[in-house]
Amino acid sequence: MTILWLASFPKSGNTWARALLANYLTGGDKPVALNTLPQLAVADSQLWPYEKAAGRKLPDASLKDIMPLKPRAHALLAGKPDALIFAKTHSALTLFDGVATITPAVTAGAIYILRNPLDVTLSYADHYGLTHAQTVEAMASPHLMTKGRADRAPEFLGDWSAHVRGWMRAPGLKRLMLRYEDMQTDTAASLTRILTFLEQQVDPDRVARAVRHSSFETLQGQEALTGFRERSRNQKRFFRAGTAGQWRENLAPELVARTVQAHRDVMSEYGYLDSDGNPV
């Protein structure tokens, strides 16, 4: 078992977690270059392992094309049996067409980043070029998936609640869950939890430096200078706001109510609703 998954629903803080980890492991006096983050964590949506598993090119492949290739592709991502590889994924952890979206045989564990779906709605809409209403509907759809591209494999997402439940309730999965909001409240403590989970030695000075080098202002400044390859063509910038609670000013009340109605149980379970069922 050699893959440690860095998992999240899209636009939930996966990039920030990778930046924190990369800056700690590198331990440099300057921030890790933003566009080198893929070197820390290979992406499950990269097309090359599926093409290698298939023995042919797979331009614009569908999920039905990709799923039978998952076990072999994930084994290729895992590489050497004695190495631990970080891999980024937005995939749900479930079965699709009878095949596991995340291959258990090569999985060592997962770090799952959870974010309030009300704030996810704003970032998801910006990234994919959707209206807020379209995004609320998409995030409640059990059929939600990303499309394949010339260099990207599609990913099955499912609805937000099922995504969270799949990763948090998978039997036998060694996992660490971090809430995006808690990462903002005490970033150093969150990074320390990641390092402890990975059984890494924790150096407080190095943690503090990694937190500085991964601040929103630093990441936004790097993007302004060099661009960021993960920015979509729909976005003016990838690092858009960087604070929790943006939904209060930017999401219409009826869309807040629809989101709560769709995801009430999971939002309550993870502290996004108060005892009366109101968003917090």
The domain limits of the chain are 3-116+146-238
pLDDT at 120: 96
Task: Answer yes or no: are the C-beta atoms of 157 and 167 closer than 8 Å.
Answer: no
State the pLDDT at residue 235: 66
The dotted CATH code for 3-116+146-238 is 3.40.50.300
CA geometry: angle at 278 spanning 183 and 137, to 5°?
80
* Cα atoms found within 13 Å of the Cα of residue 136, Cβ hemisphere only: 18
Number of other residues whose CB lies within 10 A of the CB of residue 278: 9
pLDDT at position 218: 86
Could you tell me whether strands 107-114 and 95-96 are parallel, antiparallel, or unpaired per DSSP bridges? unpaired
Going through 135-274 in order, the beta strands assigned E by DSSP cover 175-179
Asked whether the beta carbons of 67 and 96 are under 8 A apart, the reply is yes
Tell me the pTM.
Answer: 0.93
Say which DSSP state 130 is in: -
For helices 253-269 and 132-139, what crossing angle results, to 10°? Answer: 30
What is the pLDDT at residue 149?
A: 78
Could you state, in chain order, the average pLDDT of each consecutive group of 10 residues for the chain (280 residues)? Answer: 93 88 90 82 91 92 95 91 88 97 97 97 91 98 90 94 98 97 95 96 96 86 74 64 84 98 98 95
Cα–Cα distance measured from residue 49 to residue 261, given in angstroms and rounded to the nearest whole number: 39
